[in-house]
Structure 1
């Protein structure tokens, strides 16, 4: 295994462990053992856990940007692209049920620790926010695109948190249906900008 491959494996393993166990409760020894390398070899790549955290955050950003680029390539219309974002709750449902949202749990933990890397972690949400705003603007809602992006982002985060808490598959399915219905209302131009109940389903 090359030095680059070893480093990438360390980062991928740390990403998994930070998600499943939390940043604070994951040690150098935990990561080294999971990767299967000596502590000395480990320190050759990273001198501190904060260095690994920075690499993990960078990896998560690259992964999300690539995912959205795939949506741009594979889905021709903004409604379908936003639906792909909403469907993350289904696609990653089992992981979310067990561990929560990987971005939400990390930013929450770093906030509790008052960790200096928290702003970088929060920028992972900004990646989604900016991309969603672009899609809503493409639907003809340029004036309130950012507001709509935040509404959807906050709803999906809330759904992930409650799914992790209540472990109810029917709940997450209802949330996906409600968000998709809300999106289709916007696409049809029938939802007011400042609706008091923006996610009410119109069955």
Structure 2
């Protein structure tokens, strides 16, 4: 495997520190120290923290696109793929309980700062929303697919926020189970309607 270049390492460490510490509290020195390079070498790659932020958002966007593509392959049905999305709360629950949702925390912080990159950070939510809506459309919910997508996206953000507050693993698992049952109910309703239509034809 090819060794990451210095710029990629800087972006990766900035991504981690922005998540764990927040964008505003994280300094150039924090990132340079974490990477283990001099400030002069650091400035060769990035002149401002906003430049690093742009690179971090681009990295997260690419990672999100890759993750959604992987879920498309993993899930045999739209319901399976939706469950891939919600079960990320369990896969990442240790990080979420410690630092919150990486997408939500950055978007909220940049909105509070009225930072010029706040819309770019929110694009990650848009990627999720559009992908979720496509799954609901594939389940036959063409008229309310976006509403359902926003519902499950909002529910996941609520679970992440309370998981951070309460540090309760059982709560996370219980909520994920409930959402999975809700997804199954939508899938079952579609199958029932299809069976009814076939009987009537």
User: Structure 2 length normalisation: TM-score?
Assistant: 0.91
Write the distance in 2 (CA, Å) between the matches of 1:61 and 1:189. Answer: 34
State the alpha-carbon separation in 2 of the partners of residues 156 and 142 from structure 1: 22
Mapped partners of 1:153, 1:175: distance in 2? 13
Rounded to whole Å, the distance in 2 between the matches of 1:164 and 1:24 is 20
How many pairs were matched up? Answer: 189
Partner of 1:15: 15
CA distance in 2, matches of 1:73, 1:181: 22
The question of 1:161 aligning with 2:161 is answered yes
Other-structure match for 2:78 = 78
Structure index of larger Rg: 2
Give the structure 2 partner of residue 179 of structure 1. Answer: 179
Cα distance between partner residues in 2 of 1:24 and 1:184? 41
Q: Find out whether 1:128 has 2:128 as its counterpart.
A: yes
Per the alignment, residue 97 of structure 1 pairs with 97
Corresponding position of 2:38: 38
CA RMSD after TM alignment: 1.4
Structure 2 gaps of 5+ residues are: 191-201
Per-residue CA deviations over 1:123-170 (Å, capped at 9, x if unaligned) read 110000000000110111111110000000000000000000011111
Aligned residue for 1:143, secondary structure, equals coil
Q: Which has the higher contact order (CA 8 A, sep 6+)?
A: 2
Q: In structure 1, what is the Cα distance between the partners aligned to 2:189 and 2:64? A: 29
Instruction: Name the counterpart of 1:118.
Output: 118
1:55-85, CA deviations, whole angstroms, 9 ceiling, x for partnerless residues?
1011001001101111112222111110000
Secondary structure of 2:133's aligned partner? helix
User: CA–CA distance in 2 between the matches of 1:137 and 1:126?
Assistant: 16
Structure 1 unaligned spans of 5+: 191-203
